[in-house]
Structure 1
Amino acid sequence: MNEIAKEHFATNVYYDRTFDCDAAKILPGEYYYTGKDMLIVTVLGSCVSACIRDRVTGVGGMNHFMLPDGDGDSPVSASARYGTYAMEVLINDLLKSGAKRENLEAKVFGGGAVLRGFVAMNVGERNAQFVRKFLKTENIRIVAEDLNDIHPRKVYYFPRSGKVLVKKLRQLNNNTLVNREQDYANRLQTNNVGGDVELFS
């Protein structure tokens, strides 16, 4: 695994009693992939997750990303770089783990209008448009999606079988999700992403 990818690879792996299996929890800006029979879980607000797997081998993974409001006039804005990076790093690691590009399929989730300050920028909607367009360009078929809406959602992904369970969170008991996404958005806008694009040129 390359050095830049390492910092984004989720390390929160635990045993999930409900599903009786190992699970990896991913936070904004992280991703996880595996060939094992396990669960990958995340909670999404305006962010988007792509669950991508090789439908033959069961090698699969999930990312969790948000497009910050990049410079719209630039041909490669910060937003495109972050979204593209999140997708590329997951796909590349799946291929290195034995997945075949022609067997890849995707399920995509998130993009809810949940961050009050982001409604005017349509962050959730832009994330949803981005992930659809990216996968179409890469010729990876989307076999299921649950995008947009106003509710956050918890996503449980079982890469081996391709099964996904989505729970709409009609009310949040606290502001953890909103604060986490807000912090993530602020981090993206202040971080220099110069080196990320060269990885895939």
Structure 2
Amino acid sequence: MSAAVPGAIASHHYFDRDFDRMAVKLLPSEYYVTAVDTVMTTVLGSCVAACLIDRDAGVAGMNHFMLPEDGEPGTRGQAESMRYGAYAMDVLIRELLRAGARRDRLQAKVFGGAAVLANMTTLNIGDRNADFVLRYLETERITVAAQDLRGPHARRVCLLPHSGKAVVRKLRAQVDVQSVQREEGELLRKLAAVNKSKGSCLS
């Protein structure tokens, strides 16, 4: 099997007082797989996080992707490709199997796909991400045990690997919302740059 994707494995570890245990925070384009009961957490706007769990093996993983599919597969580095759902899902499943999970035991919990900026609603990025992850999991015959997708609110998602429990909190505090809006604005700028390089524009 291929090696783990360098530069894409979440590395921000800290002690989470809410759960009284160590945690790892995933940023956009990152993933994490573990057999240790470390809380995995991320904050989502239009992005989607897929959590895959094999409770029998005690292994779980999470990713955080920004866009559904790469229009130019094979032209980007591995770490850059992690922003795209198709690649991020393939990597997550591969690394779970490497860690001892079995594909037929995997269950999914998926979150995100919100529209937190007006332009995101126009571009339907959140909806496209949500549609993609559900379609991907159906194609791969992985059961979706829980989902909280779309809507106007950003989310903070926490996954407890051993129990498979996911805790979701809608973000309404101004400081949290502003942080997500900055991230969404950066995504829009990247999309605009990509489309400009192709001689087209966002509409």
Unaligned runs of 5+ in 2: 195-203
Q: Give the CA deviation at 1:172.
A: 2.8
Q: Is the 8 A contact 1:28 1:181 kept in 2?
A: no
Unaligned runs of 5+ in 1: 192-201
- Aligned pairs for 1:1-201 (under 5 A) are 2=3, 5-67=5-67, 82-173=84-175, 175-184=178-187, 186-187=189-190
Identity in percent: 48
Cα distance in 1 for residues equivalent to 2:188 and 2:35: 31
Taking structure 2 as the reference length, the TM-score comes to 0.83
Aligned residues: 188
Tell me the secondary structure at the aligned position of residue 94 of structure 1. Answer: helix
Matched to 2:92, the amino acid is L
What are the superposed Cα offsets for residues 91-135 of structure 1, whole Å, 9 maximum, x if unpaired?
100000000011100000000111222211111111000000000
Q: Give the CA deviation at 1:17.
A: 1.7
Q: Is the 8 A contact 1:13 1:25 kept in 2?
A: yes
Q: Is the 8 A contact 2:37 2:162 kept in 1?
A: yes
Question: 4+ residue runs of structure 1 moved beyond 2 angstroms?
Answer: 68-71, 181-191
Cα distance in 1 for residues equivalent to 2:162 and 2:149: 23
Cα distance in 2 for residues equivalent to 1:188 and 1:29: 15
Q: Give the CA deviation at 1:21.
A: 0.8
Superposed CA RMSD in Å reads 2.8
Q: Is the 8 A contact 2:43 2:156 kept in 1?
A: yes
Cα distance in 1 for residues equivalent to 2:68 and 2:166: 27
